[in-house]
Each structure stands twice: as C-alpha cells, then as structure tokens.
Structure 1
Amino acid sequence: MENNFLSTPLIKIKVDVFYHSCPHNVTSGFYSCDPEEIASKLKGMKAVVIVGKYDEEHIKLYKEAALRAGINPLLVRVVDATWGENSIEENKKILENGWVAELALVEEKGLPVSRRELIKGELKIAKDRIDKPVWISDMCRLYRACTLCQDSCPYNAIKVDKKNGVIIDYNKCVACGLCVASCPMSALQFPSFSQQAIFELSKIKGDKRISCYKDTGNSIKLPCIGMLSAVDLVMLRSSGKVELYCPGCELSKNLDGLKSTVEDLNNAVGGFSLTVPGYNIQPKEVEKNIKIEQFSFLANKAEGRQNIIKNNNLPDISYEVQINEKICTMCESCAKWCPTNALTIEYSNDSEKLLFNPDKCIGCKICINVCPEGDNGCSSGSKAIKVFTAKEVKHEIKTLMKDEIVRCRVCGAIVGSRKSLNLVKKVMKERGLECEDEWLERCPTHRAEYSYKKFFGKEVRFKPRRGPNDLGRV
C-alpha cells in the first residue's frame, strides 16, 4: 500500500557515494588507507556514503578523512561493500534529510599527525561534532508548560526552563535517545539521524533491520534504537516487516518502554521483532497492512500518532481527565495549552463547557503543569485537573465542567466565567480592595470607564488614553 505523506518541505542535501578499496576489501574503488589521500578525494563534498569496510578500524579511518576534508562527520555514513545497493540507497536517504547535523555541538580536536606533517611541523585542528540530541526551538511550542523530555531522562541531563527553553547538559547526556522518543513535537532530534529521515525511510518498500552503530552487520544504524517512538515504528512497519536488534551495551537497560511498545504493536499487526541481550520478541504473522493518510505536519508526532491509531485500530493507552469543581475556575489555561486539542472550550449564549476528547489525549500532562489552581508544583493530586490512565477505552467526548458566562453589562463582550469572577472578587476582598459587581461584570474598557466616572463624577466624559498605535484614529 502506498504511503501518502505530506510534510513541511525541507531542502534536500546533495549526497555523493565514494567507493573505497583496500587489502581488507578487494572491490573496485579508490585503493588507499592513507587518510590524507582519501580526504583529497572527499574534498568539496557536503555529504557522502562511503562504500568500503564497516569495522572499527575503517570507521575511524573514514572519520579522520572526513575531518581532514572539512566534512561534517555526521554527514558521513559507512556501508560495507558486501551489503548491496539497497543499503546504499537507505543511507543516501538518511543523509539527504540530514539538516539537523549542522545544529550539533562543535568540538575542536587535533588530528593524528602524519609523517609528512611531523616533518613540516604542522598540527591540524578539525571541527568534530557531538552526536547527542539537540533542541530545535522553532519546533517546540510547549516548553513553558511541557516537561516530557525532562521526565523521560534517567540521567537528569535535561532541564526545561520556562524562559530559555530546553537545556541539555552534554556532560550527563549518554545519547540514549529516550528524550527524542518522548517529544510529541519532534523538537529533540539526533544530529546524525533526523526525524524526517525516519519518515522518508518509511517510503522505501521492503523489510528493514534496524540497529545501532555498534552492530557490524547489515542494518539501518541509529545512535540507539531507544530513540524510536511508537509513531516511528508504525511508519517503518507500513512498508515492510521491522526487525530491531540491540547488540548490547550500558544503554540496553533503558529499553523497557520500547519492549512494551513492540509487544503491543506485534500483537496488533504483527511483523515486529526485537532482540536485546537476554530478551527476544519473535514477529507474529502479518495480518494486515498499515494505512497512513495525509496530515499537515509529519514531524509533529502527536498528530501523526492520532492519525495512525485512528486508521489502523492499533492498541493505545487511553487517558481519563477529571476536574475538581471546588477549585477549578474555568480559566481555560488547560484548553489553550493542550497540544492535541483533547481539551476544548465550547461557548453558548449563556454558558461555556470544558470538553474532553479521549481519542486525542496523549497523556502529556501539560494541562496539569499550566493549571493555576492548586499548589505551585505539578502534583496532579492537588491541582484542579487530574490525568490518569483509563481502565477501559472510551471514545465519546464528555463535558468535564460547565459554568455560566458573564458578559459585559455595557457591550455584551465575554468577561469570563462566573467561577473565575468569584475568585477575583474573593482575592480582592482578602487584600482589602473594593470589588463591586457593577465594576467586575464589565470588559476591561468599560471597567476603566466605570472607575473614571466614579472618581471624577458621572457627568465627566471618559476618553481612553491613546497609545502610539492609535495616532490618527477618530
């Protein structure tokens, strides 16, 4: 079944293919293991797939050659000559969408000194790149309320600052990829493997073996398979079976969430396998194809998730939301911040409702974070709103809260809910301030008019102060 993707257009990077041959790898191509000589052939390239030998010795050689040639090493991918043309095409697709590579943290390092450089007394410094997740601010609209990435990191390497955004401590970060998998907006990505690259790989028909750079076999190599979200897995599965392989390292202890996701997906549609040291999931018989329709922004995994679940009846965790009517003031903050519109406000002439759609909720708990009623922390137990896993999946939209709408006594504009105005009155009285209903139940302009006439007299004409943008207006 053809995948019909619609995404924000990105400039594709030109990718070259360089064939390397040496005594360890007798094929056609450039024959030398001198990094300077290889670098001379790579100069001028932006991104390159090197077809040669995939082992520790040669990967180190190719990286040094790329640095000497002035190429961002995160835009270099190595394919063993025995892996075939399909592997070359997959790695070209990854590099074509490697725009995040330029956002990686730069680290200057000295290159090994050759005999020629030693004689000349030359010392070469190159700009290496650190392949750890980067925060893309333009793709993150939620950092003043969302803490999903921070909560996902077991190493305390991420902090969400409401003023400055997401701050990553690269001294603590181990590149496990859990923050990348957790972000519903794709605002955290690995420089060597963009979110767009994952989606583009999904368009290539055929089964896929996916592993990390430590795997010496033929596979699509990621920094860590822990970076894959449920959306990523289903996208990849839409064009064939998916085999996930972890060769084992200190990061394999972080894959419990991935194991659970793969098990659920395998039970639903089959075609998934996962191998981790001491753990193995065998693929179930493929029962059906994955259907993916167009949606507005493919990198928005929150939207993609809803699209995929809806069209394929996939297993999903359903969430429930409750409102504490004693402390909720219908301030609307939860609905304004909800990234998937699971919470919305519905107005009528004399009332407003807070509605909840469980089919859109992703359990991000941003609504709890932004709720002003309750303690200053993010404890769901003492906030006006509470999110929890539902015992049974429900698909109907329900009303969480309903309140009277108060309109301006002069112009009829909405002033707020009755509960929110009652709170304003209570707070003002606690602070010893006067609060008349005649003043409270007016829009800001007519409140100012009321206060002005009360102070200067009813016969005085009220003229609102004009700002610099009001010059020339009648």
Structure 2
Amino acid sequence: MSRAYPQFLASRCARYRYRYSACSRCADACPHEAIALSDEGAALDPARCQNCVLCVSACRTGAWESESYVPVETLRRAIRQTQFSFACAPSGLPADAVVPCLGAIDAATLAYLARRRIAVTLHGSSRCEGCAHAPCGAEQLALNLDACSTLATAAAPPDAAWLAPVLADDARPKREPKDAGFAAGRRQLFRRLIGRGVDELADAADPADPAESPPAVPDKAIRAGAYALPEQRELLQIVCERRDGQHVEVPLHDALPLMALKLRAGCTVCEACFRACPTGAIRIEESPSDWQLRFDADRCVACGVCMEVCQPRVLEAVPAFDARPEQPPRVLLALAKQRCARCDRHFVSAAPAETCPVCRDDEDAFAAIFG
C-alpha cells in the first residue's frame, strides 16, 4: 500500500472559500491530530499523519485526496464481481481490497455496492478497539453503515432489496446508545452547518427584523474558485434514482453529502451564498428584468458554507427531503429589477429603493468627506 500522504486542494475547501467558516470535518475525523485548521483552509503534518485517509472520506467538498485509497478504482474492480471483501491494513487480513481504515469507505460507496446487489464483507472491525486509528475509525465506520442503512430504507424499491454490507465475524464497532448518539450527532451537525454556538444563536437578534440590519460579509472573506463535484455526490445520484418515480425521502445525515435548503424572509440579496458555494449548488440567474436565487440539489454536498456566510441567517437546511436526482433547480427568491433614479442602471434590492447601491455608496462617501 502506498505511503503517499493525503493532498489538500485549497480551492475546494469550505474554510478557504469562506475565511470565517467553522468547518472542521477533516480535523474531527483525524485520530492523530495531524491536521491544523486556519482561515486559509487546512494543513497536514506528515510527522503525525499515519495515512488512515479518514480525512478524505469525511470531507464534503473533496478538498482531500489520497493515492492510498481511490474509491473509484476499487469500484471498477468490485462491480465485476458478485461478492467483494474489504479489509483494513492494520488488521493484516486478506481481502479483495485492503484499505487504510474501514472508516474510510464512505457511505456513498457502500450504498452504491449495496444497490448493485454486490455482497460486501468488511474484515477487521473486531480489532478496532486496539487500532492506532481508534476511536475515530470505528466511529466513522458506524456512521457510514448507518447512513447506508438510511439510504436503503429511502431509496430501495419494494421489489429490489439491497445487499447490506456485512461485518465479518459479527463484530460491530462500538457506538453510543441510540438516543444519545442521535442527539450528539444532531448537535454536532447543527453547529457544523450553522457555524455558531447554540447560545450565540439564542441571543442573536431576529434576522428578519428590518430595524436591525446584519453586517455585510467583507469582500476578502470570500475567495473565488472553480466549481467541483466530489465523486461521493455523483455516486449518490445513482443510488437515489428510482425507476418507479417514487420520492426518495432522506433525512439530514452527518455521513451523507445530501441536503435541501429553504430561505426564510429577510434575505438582503448580498449574494454571499452564491459566491461562497464550492460546487455551484447555489446559482443566480438574471434577465433584463428579473433576478433569481436558485438551488440545485444535485450539486449540493451539505458542506453548509452557504448558511455560515449568510449574515441574516435566513438560509436553513430542510430536516428531510426528496433526494431523487435531476430535479429542476428550486427558486429560493425571485425579485424584479429596479432602475436607479440617479445613474439609470438596473439593480436588485430586497426592498424598493430610489438609487442603486453604487450611488448610495458614493453619497455616503461624499457625506463622510464633506459633511
């Protein structure tokens, strides 16, 4: 197995795209504290890294890649067989594919193989407790298996049972009690998506209150980058397709790069969500007379950076949603363009206004200089 360390692609990272993002998925998944986070993204310490590649599977946006485990190459081998086995490298057990850690096999890969009715066996989970990658590897494995089960319940037609992956020797990774694990997972997901502490949100002013305008995001806080759609998300488009046309109702899950958004009243039309999105899931479409903010669920990976960058906090994740692919983009907000009384340019504003933002800025600057 290659000892090439995971490589970081900054332009895909939520922390790079939005300087104040609180995303820490890769660092949380690393059992060796080898990842340092900053407002430039993340950096790997090779002296600490043990090549478990849990950071790769944990990242929503595909900001981490590794030569040690390339899921697509493994899938090409697996789909030619009716049975396929994985084993983790620390266990030393033989298998069709040896991976750095069983937790690195993401939920999308497991669900895709289950959808194709390939009998998958996972070897090595009985040795998780004493592994150098514990407890993160076992926790991630349990989360991915739970996500695979969730997808099977939602997406599998009644006449096409999936072949769920099986842990060899009936050994299962330890998990918290169901209720406690559910609550803890939801709390972590909430903080990760919103990017603030619960107490801070409780004390915040009502974002829809017009009397108090939220601060604008500084221009330098959002960095441009090419759109990229991770392989996990592309696999889930296949997994969530139903030939019978029925809805695929999927709940928000911390191991699935799936999400749907809704927009409450109070949007300031700052377009920060559009500029920060690393996959192009949020788009703006304009005509000479109209402006629309659109959401394409097929491109959303649930990184949550759009909700972090939204200063009025009016973008929200939907708890459960239809995950079928190729649904038309939803219009979150549509506005008619206005014409500036001073410069005669068209502009968009959340409320009726006489002048455009450029002219208002000029007026404010003139007043500040000359009084």
C-alpha separation in 2, matches of 1:334 and 1:410: 29
Determine which of 386, 389, 401 is the counterpart of 2:333.
401
**Cα distance change, pair 411–203 in 1 and its aligned pair in 2 (3 A):** farther
> Residue 223 of structure 1 is aligned with which of 85, 100, 110?
100
Q: Does 1:343 align with 2:282?
A: yes
Structure 2 partner of 1:386: 316
State the AA in 1 paired with 2:122.
L
Cα 1:440–1:343 shift into 2, 3 Å: closer
Map 1:15-34 → 2, pairs under 5 A: none
Q: SS where residue 251 of structure 2 aligns?
A: coil
Q: Structure 2 counterpart of 1:182, which letter?
A: A
Aligned to 1:87: none
Residue identity matched to 1:201: R
What is the CA deviation profile of residues 31-72 of structure 1, one whole-angstrom value per residue up to 9, with x for unaligned ones?
A: xxxxxxxxxxxxxxxxxxxxxxxxxxxxxxxxxxxxxxxxxx
Alignment of 1:455-466 (within 5 A): none
CA apart distance, 1:222? 0.1
TM-superposed CA distance for 1:305, in Å, is 2.7
Which residue number corresponds to residue 249 of structure 1? 128
Separation in structure 1 between the aligned mates of residue 11 and residue 261 of structure 2, nearest angstrom? 30
Which position in structure 2 is the counterpart of 1:261?
Answer: 147
Counterpart residue number, 2:310: 371
Aligned residues: 283
Q: 1:139, 1:197 → 2: CA distance?
A: 22
Structure 1 residues 363, 392: closer, same or farther in 2, change over 3 A?
Answer: same
Partners of 1:212 and 1:227 in 2: CA distance? 9
TM-score by length of 1: 0.48
Answer yes or no: is the 8 Å Cα contact 2:26–2:58 preserved in 1. Answer: no
* Paired AA for residue 264 in structure 1: T
CA deviation vs aligned residue, 1:83-129 (integer Å, no higher than 9, x gap): xxxxxxxxxxxxxxxxxx3xx3xxxxxxxxxxxxxxxxxxxxxxxxx
User: CA–CA distance in 2 between the matches of 1:279 and 1:263?
Assistant: 17
Q: Return 5+ residue gaps in structure 1 as ranges.
A: 1-72, 76-100, 105-132, 282-295, 374-382, 423-436, 456-474
How far is 1:229 from its partner?
Answer: 1.7
Structure 2 residue aligned with 1:275 = 167
Given that 1:148 and 1:182 are in contact with CA atoms closer than 8 Å, whether structure 2 keeps it comes out as: no
User: What is the deviation of 1:366?
Assistant: 1.3
Deviations 1:383-423 (A, max 9, x none): 2322242277796754433444234557754434245x97x
- Describe the shift of the 1:405–1:218 C-alpha distance in structure 2 as closer, same or farther (beyond 3 A): same
CA RMSD of aligned residues (A): 4.3
Structure with higher RCO (Cα < 8 A, 6+ apart): 2
CA–CA distance in structure 2, aligned partners of residues 201 and 315 of structure 1:
30
Flag structure 2 segments of 5+ consecutive residues without an equivalent.
174-226, 253-258
Matched residue, 1:211 = 87
Is the Cα–Cα contact under 8 Å of residues 201 and 236 in structure 1 kept in the other structure?
A: no
Alpha-carbon shift at residue 226 of structure 1 (Å): 0.8
- Structure 2 CA distance for partners of 1:337 and 1:308, relative to 1, 3 Å: farther
Q: Tell me which residue corresponds to 1:143.
A: 16
Letter matched to residue 275 of structure 1: L
Report how far residue 135 of structure 1 moved: 1.8
Q: Which moved more, 1:199-208 or 1:393-402?
A: 393-402
Equivalent residue letter for 1:229: D
Larger strand proportion of the pair: 1
Taking the TM superposition and a 5 Å limit, the aligned residue runs for 1:226-237 are 226-237=103-114
Partner of 2:38: 161
Partner of 1:74: 2
Alpha carbons 1:208, 1:243 under 8 Å: kept = yes
- CA offsets, 1:227-251, max 9 Å, x none? 1223322444548332222342233
Q: Which letter does structure 2 place at the counterpart of 1:180?
A: V
Once residues 176 and 229 of structure 1 are traced to their aligned partners in structure 2, the CA distance between those partners, rounded to angstroms, is 13
Identity across matched positions, percent: 22
Residue 116 of structure 1 corresponds to none
What is the alpha-carbon distance in structure 2 between the residues aligned to residue 350 and residue 411 of structure 1? Answer: 17
Look up the match of 2:192. none
SS in 1 for 2:150: helix
TM alignment of 1:46-445, pairs within 5 A: 74=2, 101=4, 104=5, 133-137=6-10, 143-145=16-18, 147=23, 149-150=25-26, 152-153=28-29, 155=31, 157-163=34-40, 165-169=41-45, 175-202=51-78, 204-213=80-89, 214-237=91-114, 238=116, 240-247=118-125, 248-250=127-129, 251=134, 253-254=138-139, 255-265=141-151, 267=153, 268=156, 269-275=161-167, 279=171, 300-310=231-241, 316-317=250-251, 319-326=259-266, 328-358=267-297, 360-373=299-312, 383-390=313-320, 398-409=330-341, 413-419=345-351, 440=357, 442=359
- The alpha-carbon deviation at position 271 of structure 1 amounts to 1.9
Separation of aligned partners in 1, 2:10 and 2:322? 37
SS in 2 for 1:353: strand
8 Å CA contact 1:150, 1:159 repeated in 2: no
Contact preservation (8 Å) 1:135, 1:188 = yes
User: Which protein shows a greater Rg?
Assistant: 1
Instruction: Measure, in 1, the Cα distance between the counterparts of 2:15 and 2:234.
Output: 15
Q: CA deviation at 1:258?
A: 1.8
For 1:174 and 1:340, how far apart are their aligned partners in 2? 29
Instruction: Say whether the 8 Å CA contact 1:355–1:400 is kept in structure 2.
Output: yes
- Judge conservation of contact 1:205–1:239 (CA < 8 Å) in 2: no
Q: Residue 275 of structure 1: CA displacement?
A: 1.1
Q: In structure 1, how many angstroms separate the alpha carbons of the residues matched to 2:13 and 2:118? A: 31
- Give the partner amino acid of 1:317: P
Distance 1:302 1:408, change over 3 A: farther
Secondary structure of the 1:352 match is strand
For the structure 1 residues 273 and 439, does the alpha-carbon distance in structure 2 shift closer, same or farther, using more than 3 Å as the test? Answer: closer
